[in-house]
Structure 1
Amino acid sequence: MAKFEVIGTASIPGRGGELRLLQRNDEFSIRIAGKSGELMNTRLHGSEDALAKLACARLADRSGVRVLIGGLGMGFTLAAALATLGDDAEAVVAELVPGVVEWNRGPLGAAAGHPLDDPRTRVSLGDVGELLRREPGGFDAIMLDVDNGPEGLTREENDWLYSPRGLAAAQEALRPDGVLAIWSAGQDPAFTERLRRVGLLVEEVMVRAHRPGKGAKHRIWLAC
């Protein structure tokens, strides 16, 4: 079997660290340098798709929808959102690591169908938390997949996003009857309670990493 080869590296802003893009035939993987395991793989994106589908399903009867996706990753959440939203929608993607955007415009783009080329897409380079604070009432849906979940893996600064202050900022950035959707690699009962304590109605959904019935069990919180 062919081995993965590193085809790109990208520095993580803030406290440093490095992401690596690896390729094996038509399969891609993103990993953190110096840590075992992988963050993302193009063969395992069922839960990233579900993040967008579950959130956007609640917007089906609206026009002029504007959504925010926190974390571009491999582009699958963005692609799934665009497939669900209407022609008059706008999908804003906040990505902290410029190299990840470059990968999606280059060798990685075909895996998700080049969603960055869609005219409804707008890329915002920088911290999604800053964007939330800048745009109160700006979005019908906010989909967050910026780390491994409420416990930051790639960057300690991500912890703020899942704190009561960060969740309050997300609430303020939602339009009336908007939805906040958050992806996690696993369960976190304490985080579920944290969402409720800031006044959100919460539904927790188990989804599979690969496809229905296959792959690791991930979690998505839908809050409004």
Structure 2
Amino acid sequence: MTPRELVGVAEVPGGPPLRLFRRGGDFMIVLDRNELMSTRMSGSEVALGTLACDRIASRPAPRLLIGGYGMGFTLRAVLARVGADAEVVVAELVPGIVEWARGPMAALTAGCLDDPRVTLVMGDVGAVMREPRQGFDAILLDVDNGPDGLTREANGDLYVPSGLADAKRALRPGGTLAVWSAAPDPSFTRRLIKTGFEVEEVRVRARENGKGATHLIWLARSPNG
């Protein structure tokens, strides 16, 4: 078996560090003993992007916010679906993630962070949602293991009623909040509904070939105003 090589360590504000490993041509981002993401299992991250774009396909010049760059699978899926008039804001809290994207994983990144439609914001996606200039057609959140949190305690603020209210205010009427999770969470579904969203749950496989673990994506539509 090809040995796993430690490529780098990234500090997480308010949380334990992330480690990037390489095994052959595959990369893995690991927290303690938990593999958060890998190049072998990108199907649900891609689905997060494509499903959200499908919900806003008829909107001209769409504006999207992606919370968490990760390995860029969601961003690249979005860029493949939207036109030249789209604006995609990517909020990434961990500087090391971006350093890895531009360094050891540059071939995988394929220049997506330098796409003219992309604006990279180094910081908390929650703060971006609370900024005066909002008006997003879609907000895509994949900043942790899901609403239960794992990487850092403060990530949970995005999934509580106040965080969901921030997302709702940041969306244009009829916009979509898409949330990735490693597992179902009925209490989170109830919170979305209580916040005023129309909620659809979609189960997707971790691998693009339809295999692997089953993950969950919430597609929450904001009211039309």
In the superposition, the TM-score normalised over structure 1's length comes to 0.95
State the alpha-carbon separation in 1 of the partners of residues 201 and 5 from structure 2: 37
Comparing 149-158 with 112-121, greater Cα deviation is found at: 112-121
Equivalent pairs, count: 221
Partner of 1:131: 128
Cα distance, 1:109 vs structure 2: 2.8
SS at match of 1:17: strand
Cα distance, 1:154 vs structure 2: 0.5
Cα distance, 1:112 vs structure 2: 4.2
What is the identity percentage for the equivalent residue pairs of Structure 1 and Structure 2?
Answer: 59
State the alpha-carbon separation in 1 of the partners of residues 40 and 149 from structure 2: 23
Partner of 2:39: 42
Aligned match for 1:145, one of 142, 145, 153: 142
**What are the within-5 Å matches in structure 2 for residues 4-23 of structure 1?**
4-14=4-14, 16-23=15-22
Does residue 194 of the first structure (1) align with residue 191 of the second (2)?
yes
Aligned match for 2:99, one of 87, 94, 102: 102
Residues 126 and 163 in structure 2, CA contact (< 8 A), matched pair in contact too = yes
In the superposition, the TM-score normalised over structure 2's length comes to 0.95
Residues 66 and 140 in structure 2, CA contact (< 8 A), matched pair in contact too = yes
Q: Which amino acid aligns with 2:71?
A: M
Does residue 185 of the first structure (1) align with residue 185 of the second (2)?
no
State the alpha-carbon separation in 1 of the partners of residues 85 and 122 from structure 2: 23
State the alpha-carbon separation in 2 of the partners of residues 58 and 135 from structure 1: 24
Comparing 155-164 with 207-216, greater Cα deviation is found at: 207-216
State the alpha-carbon separation in 2 of the partners of residues 98 and 213 from structure 1: 32
Residues 102 and 109 in structure 2, CA contact (< 8 A), matched pair in contact too = no
What are the superposed Cα offsets for residues 133-157 of structure 1, whole Å, 9 maximum, x if unpaired?
A: 0145421100000000001100000
State the alpha-carbon separation in 1 of the partners of residues 209 and 165 from structure 2: 32
Point out where structure 1 has 5 or more consecutive residues left out of the alignment.
none
